[in-house]
Amino acid sequence: MILEFLFVTCCCLYLSYRQLKRTRKASLTAIYDLNDIGRPSDKRIGGNAVICGGSIAGLLTARVCADHFSKVIIVDPEAWLVTEEGMRDHHRQQGSDYMASRKRSRVPQYTSMHLYQPFSLMALRKLFPNFDRELEGCGFLDSGDPGLRISGIPVLFPTGIPQTIWMTRPAYETLLRRLVLSTCSNVEFITGSVTSLQPASTSWESVAYVSFRTASDAETLQVPAALVVGLFHSI
């Protein structure tokens, strides 16, 4: 009788723990949201999703929006990003002189050491099913085993350690750009510097246009927007 009681109590505690863990994971992390990305909508939203800035966040946002909008426009001031140079990681092959000449003028951390965490890898695999193959030659995956030993005895991690991505920042950015532009035919780059947003009405309930200065700085143009994504404190 006591054994039965203990058994039922343990089962209840275990199930409660699992449920609590799942609820906390869902509310504190985006781990379950990954199930919803990388799936094209049956019916796309008409109009443009305009992404201000074509770096890591901009490229990933463009990839997600490409599944839901008829057209996605990335506006970024640096014209070389969408040339052949911006699609390939020439930096490693060409040495430090090349690297110095090809800095990202608005991304000061472009030459800093970067490491990409397991969550990035999980998202990238959902967004680009060919990610692991494309990574070959420009970066690699770490098995996650830190080789931890205590007094010479290996420490075992029963559920394994998630993999991380090892890649330079230029390699990561060029890989993402290549993947986005090769897999999403509805994504377009415009060279320009976003300067302001134009509301649909005076009450600013929604944005109608994004204004940007062209590369030559000669004129300011507007692009219609159904959705605008960007960090606007600097505009």
Whose Cβ is closer to ligand FAD: residue 14's or residue 140's?
140
52 binds ligand FAD (CB under 6 A): yes
CB of 30 to ligand FAD, least distance (A): 15
Per-residue binding string, ligand FAD, 143-182, x by CB under 6 A, is ----------------------------------------
78 binds ligand FAD (CB under 6 A): yes
Q: Which of 37, 99, 107, 226 binds ligand FAD (CB under 6 A)?
A: 107
55 binds ligand FAD (CB under 6 A): yes
CB of 51 to ligand FAD, least distance (A): 9
CB of 95 to ligand FAD, least distance (A): 22
Q: List, as one string, the DSSP characters of the chain.
A: -HHHHHHHHHHHHHHHHHHHHHHHHHHH-SGGGGGGTT---SSPEEEEEEEE--SHHHHHHHHHHHTTEEEEEEEES-GGGGSHHHHS--HHHH-HHHHHHT--TT-GGGGS---B-HHHHHHHHHH-TTHHHHHTTT-EEE------EETTEEPP-TT----EEE--HHHHHHHHHHHHHHH-TTEEEEEEEEEEEEESSTT-SSEEEEEEEETTSS-EEEEE-SEEES--TT-
CB of 116 to ligand FAD, least distance (A): 5
77 binds ligand FAD (CB under 6 A): yes
- Judged by the rule CB under 6 A, the positions of this chain that interact with ligand FAD are 52-58, 75-78, 106-107, 109, 112, 114-116, 193-194, 235
